[in-house]
Amino acid sequence: MSRLPFYLIVGLLMLLGIGTSLHRHIQMEVPWTPGEQRQVWEVEAIVDFTALGDPARVELALPSHQRGYRILTENTASPGYGLSFLQDESGRRAQWATRRATGSQQLYYSVRLLVTDDQRKRQIARPPLRDVSWERPYDTAAAQVIERAWMRSADPYTFTRELIRDFSDELQGENARLLLTQFERTPLLVRLLNQAGVHAQEVSGLLLEDGRRRQTLTSWIMVFEDEENWALFDPRTAEQGQPDNLLLWEAGGRAVLEVQGGTNSRVTFSMLSRSQPAAAAVRSQLADDTLLNFSIHSLPLEEQALFQTILLIPIGALVVVFLRILVGIKTSGTFMPVLIALAFIQTTLPTGLIGFLLVVSVGLVIRNYLSYLNLLLVARVSAVIITVIAIISIFSVLSYRFGLNAGLTITFFPMIILAWTIERMSILWEEEGPKQVLIQGGGSLITAVLAYLAMNNPWIRHITFNFLGVQLIIMALILLLGNYTGYRLLELRRFKPVTED
Amino acid sequence: MWARPSQLLRRGIIGMNRRNIRYIGRYNSRRLYPLVDDKLKTKLLAEQYGITTPALIGTVTTQFEVKRVGNMIAGHDGFAIKPAKGSGGKGILVIERVDHDGFVKPSGAKLSLEDLHRHISNILSGLYSLGGAPDVAMIEALINFDEKLSEYTYEGVPDIRVIVFRGYPVMAMMRLSTAASDGKANLHQGAVGVGLDIATGTAVRGVQFDRSRRDHPDTGHELASLRIPDWTNLLELAASCYEMTGLGYLGTDMVIDRNRGPMLLELNARPGLAIQMANGEGLRSRLDLVEKQSDRLSVKERVTFAQRHFARRGELKDLPEPELAPTCVNT
């Protein structure tokens, strides 16, 4: 009988559980603790244009998940326009369209972004080299600028830096000045880079600053070292690297805004930074769950609330397994304490304890009378169930009359379980005496209270709800406990007399 | 108050978890459980294997038959009503004698025929059976236990629990009912457990409520002189239950009848661990030794092996015992 398959299964469950939890933590930015605060940016883009009275079509580039930022939610406001979101390899775009529009038009797009520690660079497809042709006399100027920068550089990045430096204000050479008279700075630089055989494209980014309004996008140059690696360059200062507060709005080398059927179009941005609890930030993440990101958050809210409770049951089961196998506490009914603990969550602990003791003790008295009636078992337990319901109703009404609203929560107790508990305790009383009833009843209550404390812990609630992988870890732990052949804690006391002589 | 795990380990004490996984889980196949969980089945099986059991007066299987119990027990002086699937002695009602005005329990309490009907009805509806399944009530003739043993017990019948592991009797104890245990032979209810030497059937040590005792709390009789008559026979009877049931880790409850000798009362596929307390010794070393032995031996050979290897001298006696049951060790 090899135990290898057993340990393999346990190890696999452990690995899978830890793996998926880590994945959710790192990839989806789900925090380990519920209290953590996260910074969230709210950015609003306003597209303004004057419509010409014809069908109008507006295309706006949209940001995607990227290094340092994760999109939580996005909204648009554009009455009278049809809206669709397009996605291709160059990025996401929103497309508004209408049959007829006249006068000043305003379209709104707002996005909430979670600031993350995700440092991985986004994969962006390398743009092809474009053929570059110049008119005289710009061709010689361009060739000389390239030649000069080429000599003083070793690779695409240093070349870019030298090239931009040539165009910067203080050091501007004659050739550069000539070229700038004819071309815009950023497209010109991309053109020169392409001519020198360096893959590059112009991208647009938004510098995030709290409380700023009417901001515009700034242009940046994305230079590719090879197929995968790229770096951002500031075309003004030649600085390499992406500033932390730069949100790449359009990274596909396409226009940010395209308007057909309108003039004077422009897009401006306003932004606001807020802090919010991490759990809330996680909850509002877009439901782009794949199998790996498998999460309860993709369910409707009502079912989510239900699952929040269901996912706690394994924690209760773990407490029961722990107390029975490692400690050796006796309970009446194996998992009855878990159900009682679930009721405690609804009633709060003091009310729950008082309610439980009241129902069980009154139930025991009535059950004691029932035993004189000489009934068949099923009929008797059914009678106890009705008795329990009656007791619960009476307590609810009484507590409400006395203004104790907490008493109303007593209805959360699982009545059939309570009836069986009463029946079992009553038999135990008859056969083994009140002492055993106290031991088992007390054991059940202690287990229920401990299970309640574990299940009601905010941190445990957060972990079980947000990391489904934890369920696999619990499973592995329970399997391991099921393999334990050592002594129970209470056995150390029970067998003590043997060691004495 | 608390023992260290290492202390218990050194004495070879077995805990619940180890018993469940290592012995019951490994040696007791689930499908064999019904043979021992149902006393009626055990009884019929025992008859096939020539193992003596208390005589069966009758069985009640339907509520309809409950009314006929009066006729069934007519003429019997004493009897016991048992649920066939009861566990831990639950639901066993012993009637010592029948008076003109009722049925007398060993404690002297009187019951009416109505009370018997109610009790049997409860048994049938599954009140005492595992999982509340419908059950059958058995009515058995009372055991006339050996007078030599009667001074060691208060009310109820003292029974002898022998743990049989792979057919080898490994440990034994006698359970003496007390006033505290209400005539029941359950240790956790306050019965006195007396560890028995496997070689001779003499008392080793007594415990009540997990504390050692030298005398019976009610009769005051000292326990050291306890010696089970017909011991080897009893062990062989217990050991042969292995062939009968196929269960590797078995608790056999035996009684000694004045006229019919050792009898099998019931079997238990999940025997408790209190026997270690009564013997002042853990089961571990004995079980380990038996695990190394072949189980192809005959009943006699196995009993002889056990008597030779598990022999002990009583702690209750101050004087050393001169003879060590010469009839037993003869190989």
Please name the residues in contact with A256: beta carbons below 8 A apart, sequence gap of 6 or more.
A60, A61, A204, A217, A249, A250, A267
> How far is B197 from B306, CA to CA, in rounded Å?
10
Coil, helix or strand for A192?
helix
Q: What is the pLDDT of residues A220-237, one digit of tens each?
A: 999 988 888 888 888 888
Give the residue among A360, A367, A351, A311 at the shortest CA–CA distance from A333: A360
Nearest residue in A to B17, CA atom: A485
* The amino acid at B244: M
Ranges of residues in chain A whose predicted pLDDT is under 70: 1, 169-171, 277-302, 374, 501
A326 phi/psi in degrees, rounded to 5: -95, -35
Which pTM was predicted? 0.67
> How far is B204 from B314, CA to CA, in rounded Å?
4
- Flag whether residue B193 sits within 8 Å of chain A, measured between CB atoms: no
Chains A–B, number of C-beta pairs less than 8 Å apart = 81
pLDDT value at residue B183: 65
Across the interface, whether the CB atoms of B17 and A498 are under 8 A apart is answered: no
Give the residue among B231, B230, B262, B269 at the shortest CA–CA distance from B248: B269
pLDDT value at residue A352: 86
> How far is B80 from B89, CA to CA, in rounded Å?
12
The distance of B236 to chain A (nearest Cα, Å) reads 28
pLDDT value at residue A128: 85
How far is residue A258 from each of residues A51, A264, B108, measured CA to CA in Å? Answer: 13, 11, 104
> How far is A409 from A343, CA to CA, in rounded Å?
9
pLDDT value at residue A10: 92
Mutate to test the interface with B, among A423, A428, A484, A495 (most CBs of B within 10 A): A495
Is the bond preceding A137 in cis, omega lying within 30 degrees of 0?
A: yes
Across the interface, whether the CB atoms of B63 and A376 are under 8 A apart is answered: yes
Across the interface, whether the CB atoms of A491 and B15 are under 8 A apart is answered: yes
Q: Give the DSSP H/E element, type plus range, for residue A279.
A: helix A278-283
Q: Where are the domains of chain A?
A: 138-249, 305-500
Q: Can you give the C-alpha Rg of chain A in angstroms?
A: 35
Give the residue among A367, A334, A378 at the shortest CA–CA distance from B134: A378
Buried b / exposed e along A57-95 (16+ C-beta atoms within 10 A): bbbbbbbbebbbbbbbebebebeebeeeeeeeebbbbbe
Q: How many residues does chain B have?
A: 331
Q: How many residues does chain A have?
A: 501
Across the interface, whether the CB atoms of A499 and B277 are under 8 A apart is answered: no
Question: Angle A434-456/A415-432 helices, nearest 10 degrees?
Answer: 150
Question: Angle A313-321/A469-481 helices, nearest 10 degrees?
Answer: 20
pLDDT value at residue B97: 83
The beta strand positions in A278-419, using DSSP E, are none
Q: Give the DSSP H/E element, type plus range, for residue A370.
A: helix A349-370
CATH topology of domain B56-141: Dna Ligase; domain 1 (3.30.1490)
Please name the residues in contact with B102: beta carbons below 8 A apart, sequence gap of 6 or more.
B110, B111, B112, B113
Q: What is the pLDDT of residues A271-325, one digit of tens each?
A: 888 777 666 666 655 445 454 455 666 666 667 777 888 889 999 999 999 999 9
Give the residue among B77, B14, B27, B17 at the shortest CA–CA distance from B249: B27
ipTM for the predicted complex:
0.76
Chain B residues in contact with A485 (beta carbon < 8 A): 15, 17-18, 21-22
Chain A residues in contact with B210 (beta carbon < 8 A): 494, 497
Across the interface, whether the CB atoms of B207 and A497 are under 8 A apart is answered: yes
A435 phi/psi in degrees, rounded to 5: -65, -45
Structure tokens, B132: 């509340």
CATH class of residue range B5-36+146-309 = alpha beta
A322: how many CB neighbours lie within 10 A of its CB? Answer: 18
A100: how many CB neighbours lie within 10 A of its CB? Answer: 11
pLDDT value at residue B36: 85
- B194 in Cβ contact with B223 (< 8 Å): yes
- B46 in Cβ contact with B56 (< 8 Å): no
B17, B63, B211 ranked by CB distance to A486: nearest? B17
> How far is A308 from B258, CA to CA, in rounded Å?
66
Q: What is the pLDDT of residues B195-235, one digit of tens each?
A: 888 888 888 888 888 777 877 777 777 787 888 888 888 99
Chain B residues in contact with A384 (beta carbon < 8 A): none
- A377 in Cβ contact with B122 (< 8 Å): yes
- Flag whether residue B74 sits within 8 Å of chain A, measured between CB atoms: no
Give DSSP secondary structure letters for A386-444: HHHHHHHHHHHHHHHHTT-GGGGGGGGS-HHHHHHHHHHHHHHHHHH-HHHHHHHHHHH
> How far is A16 from A28, CA to CA, in rounded Å?
17
pLDDT value at residue B141: 87
A202: how many CB neighbours lie within 10 A of its CB? Answer: 20
Strand partners of residue A69? A66, A115
Across the interface, whether the CB atoms of B17 and A485 are under 8 A apart is answered: yes
Nearest residue in A to B19, CA atom: A485
Across the interface, whether the CB atoms of B5 and A484 are under 8 A apart is answered: no
- Flag whether residue B276 sits within 8 Å of chain A, measured between CB atoms: yes
Coil, helix or strand for A349?
helix
pLDDT value at residue B331: 36
B166 phi/psi in degrees, rounded to 5: 50, 35
* Secondary structure tally for chain A: helices H, strands E: 17, 12
Q: Where are the domains of chain B?
A: 5-36+146-309, 56-141
Across the interface, whether the CB atoms of B3 and A376 are under 8 A apart is answered: no
Structure tokens, A257: 């805004």
> How far is A194 from A212, CA to CA, in rounded Å?
35
Across the interface, whether the CB atoms of B8 and A498 are under 8 A apart is answered: yes
Mutate to test the interface with A, among B4, B7, B16 (most CBs of A within 10 A): B16
- Flag whether residue B25 sits within 8 Å of chain A, measured between CB atoms: no
Q: Give the DSSP H/E element, type plus range, for residue A58.
A: strand A56-62
B2, B15, B315 ranked by CB distance to A496: nearest? B2
Coil, helix or strand for B38?
coil
Q: Tokens 């010794």: give the residue.
A: B281
CA torsion, points B170, B175, B181, B187, in degrees to nearest 10? -10
Q: What's the burial of B278, exposed, middle or buried (CB within 10 Å: 0-12/13-18/19+)?
A: buried
- Flag whether residue A435 sits within 8 Å of chain B, measured between CB atoms: no
Across the interface, whether the CB atoms of B90 and A431 are under 8 A apart is answered: yes
Among the residues of A81-206, which ranges form H helices? Answer: 138-151, 156-167, 174-182, 185-195
Structure tokens, B162: 């022998």
Ranges of residues in chain B whose predicted pLDDT is under 70: 88, 130-132, 182-184, 313-331
**Long-range contact pairs involving A87-92 (C-beta distance under 8 Å, separation at least 24):** A89/A125, A89/A252, A90/A125, A90/A251, A90/A252, A90/A253, A90/A254, A91/A61, A91/A62, A91/A64, A91/A250, A91/A251, A91/A252, A91/A254, A92/A61, A92/A62, A92/A63, A92/A64
**A 363-402 → B contacts, CB under 8 A:** 374, 376-378
Please name the residues in contact with B126: beta carbons below 8 A apart, sequence gap of 6 or more.
A377, B132, B133, B134, B135
B13, B21, B127 ranked by CB distance to A495: nearest? B13
Mutate to test the interface with B, among A485, A490, A501 (most CBs of B within 10 A): A485
